[in-house]
Structure 1
Amino acid sequence: MKVISFDKITEMAVSPLQCYEWVSETISHKKTALLPPKISLKPEIPGVFYNTMPAILPHANWAGVKLVTRYPQRAPSLDSQILLYNLKTGENLALLDGNWITTMRTGAVAAHAIKLLAKKDFKEIGIIGLGNTARAALKVLLALYPENNFTIKLKKYKNQHELFIRRFHGYSKIQFEILDTYEEVVCSSDVIISAATVFDHDVCPDEYFKEGVLVVPIHTRGFTNCDLFFDKVYADDIDHVKGFKYFDHFKFFSEITDVVNGITPGREDDRERILAYNIGIAVHDIFFAGKLYEMIGEKCQEISLHAPVEKFWI
């Protein structure tokens, strides 16, 4: 079994467009995958969880499981690891750090939703929550639209908006606006990316969402009012949203994979308000892990758990 560290993964400098291609392939094959809902265990420690996400990808001959933990006092609070297997043989191929994979696949999935579902010639992009995932989403989006001029509207938060602008200072075709309120971001944006992890309530009333807007709530929080009046709702997996309070009130619902494969329609009108809970699922993690194993597995440390090789060993 190979051990593939965060440092080894980041050294590969996988391009944003490559991340988009990996996500696109996985989405197109989603119906062939085995993907149970994640198991979320929450001990009696405030803010702590252990989320376990298994998946099997027959088209790629990989299987695996990701474990994500959250401890609020840890920096960063989220951490994850992935076990990767050869589906045909059951061989445990690798133990990988899951942090880069989780962030970049989530950003690429958000960008995929925008490319698929945003209205034509969108120009105003609002971003709420300015951490690594938002950075990843914008990196992939800018790689997909290298010639487009975008105005990026950032919800002001501590000094994170300043750090965000500094990170993208080399992109000549984008300009930034710093806005003080959620309402200002929402009412002026064609696309809204929300990467904030905590909201105690919805970010703003219905009337601020203009016609044609696409909302991508990466952490599924803050937009439950949109569930009730948006024209269409999409998700990467129905089992991850069917427990939502207003799921039965969606006007229209489809999985993204069905749009990609021509089974259900995507955007049909530039006036449609669309909500995309396209947030990333375990099949993306396992596919990324498999691709990285192919790229760098031979360069990484080998370990053995010395599992028994005889049928009877007691």
Structure 2
Amino acid sequence: MIVIQDREVRSLGLKPKDFIDSVRHCFVHKPECQLPPKISLHPKGDDFINTMPCLLPPETNRYGVKIVSRVKGRTPALKSDSMLYDVTTGELLAVIDCDYITTMRTGAVAALAVDTLKKNNVKKIALMGLGNTGRATMMCLSSLLPPPDGKYEVSLLKYKDQAEQFIEHFKNLDNFHFTIANDTKELFENADVIISCITQANGLFIDDVNVFKPGVLVVPVHTRGFQNCDTIFDKVVCDDIGHVKGFKYFNQFKNLTELGDILRGDKPGRQSEEERIIDYNIGLGLHDAYICSKVYDAVKAQPHENIELVHSTQKYII
């Protein structure tokens, strides 16, 4: 067994495109995997501990499980670790710091959903929640979206000095220019795409659903704050139906479709420029396990310290 630290994951030099290609591959090959819904436990308040298992496609002979937690007051609040196993022997291959992988694959999934479900001639992208996930989403969007006529406007929700820091961080992007909105109404107005990377919300972000114009795509990365869209939007897209069955308005979703079905061409995606779509990607352990498997192969090819777990080989241990 090896332990793969964050610095080793980053040293591989993975690009946004690498994460996008990986999550796209996983969506397309999801039917070949065993992927039960994540188990979510809530110790107190908005804190959570999620367990995300996945059996990868048979040819990989690998199984992965990720544990991700959010603890208020911790820095960072979100942390995750993954374990990767060899299915043929049951051997634990690696324990992997999954913070960077989780953040980048989350941004990659959001960007892939935008590219797949957006209408033509997008002008304004609204983005709220400008922490690590928001930055990862912007990185992946910038590598995925084709150059427009002119530039995309990315409107950022003002919060402390995060918007200004975000603009400074991405000031060299050629295809985007940034504006700052003072409230959600200003942010959402005339937006063609709305992306929320806010990790917690008490209630709805906005009550007036008329602010969501025809053709809008809403991507709530952490699923909060847009439940008033659930029953009125023309289509609901998700990464896995089993993961959204517990949603309050699940039985009222219109045209519920998995993103993988669209990417495989099994079901239609956007069917008109007027269609309003909301996309719920809850987060699949499949993405984490697949990327961790690739990371393991890359790191294992280099000299690395092995840690031996010595289990009993006796049939009876009592």
TM-score scaled by structure 2?
Answer: 0.95
**Structure 1 residue 102 and structure 2 residue 102: aligned?**
yes
Q: Distance in 1 between matches of 2:13 and 2:232?
A: 41
Give, in whole Å, the separation in 2 of the partners of 1:272 and 1:222.
20
The answer (yes or no) to whether the contact 1:55–1:64 under 8 Å persists in 2 is yes
Letter in 2 for 1:172: D
Name the counterpart of 1:54. 53
Gaps of 5+ in 1: none
Shift of 1:146: 5.5
* Counterpart residue number, 1:39: 39
- Letter aligned with residue 53 of structure 2: P
Structure 1: distance between partners of 2:139 and 2:52: 26
2:297 and 2:192 map into 1 onto residues whose CA distance is: 39
1:233–1:39 CA distance, 2 compared to 1 (3 A): same
Q: In the TM superposition, what whole-angstrom CA distance separates every residue of 1:44-103 from its partner, at most 9, and x where no partner exists?
A: x43432211111112433211111122212111111100001223322111000101110
Number of residue pairs matched by the alignment: 313
Do the aligned residues in 2 keep the contact of 1:237 with 1:255 (CA within 8 Å)? yes
Q: Is the Cα contact below 8 Å between 2:243 and 2:282 reproduced in 1?
A: no
2:231 counterpart SS class: helix
Residue by residue, what CA displacement relative to the aligned partner does 1:103-162 show, whole Å, maximum 9, x if unpaired? 011100011111110001212110011011111111111111363321110000111111
Query: Quick check: 1:219 aligned with 2:218?
Result: no
Q: 1:275 to 1:178 in 2, by over 3 A?
A: same
SS class of match (1:229): coil
- Residue 158 of structure 1 is aligned with which of 157, 160, 171? 160
Inter-partner Cα distance in structure 2 for 1:262 and 1:173: 29
For structure 2, the 5+ residue unaligned runs are none
User: What do you get for the CA RMSD once the two structures are aligned?
Assistant: 1.4
- Structure 1 match to 2:234: 231
Of 306, 309, 313 in structure 2, the residue corresponding to residue 309 of structure 1 is 313
SS in 1 for 2:257: strand
Alignment of 1:1-314 (within 5 A): 1-43=1-43, 45-59=44-58, 60-145=60-145, 147-148=147-148, 149-204=151-206, 205-299=208-302, 300-314=304-318
Structure 2 letter corresponding to 1:62 = R
Compare 168-177 and 96-105 and name the one that shifted more.
Answer: 168-177
8 A Cα contact 2:46 2:200, kept in partner = no
SS at match of 1:280: coil
Q: Name the CA distance, whole Å, in 1 between partners of 2:116 and 2:276.
A: 14
User: How far apart, CA to CA, are the structure 1 residues paired with 2:258 and 2:56?
Assistant: 18
Tell me by how many angstroms 1:169 deviates. Answer: 1.4
Distance 1:160 1:12 in 2: 29
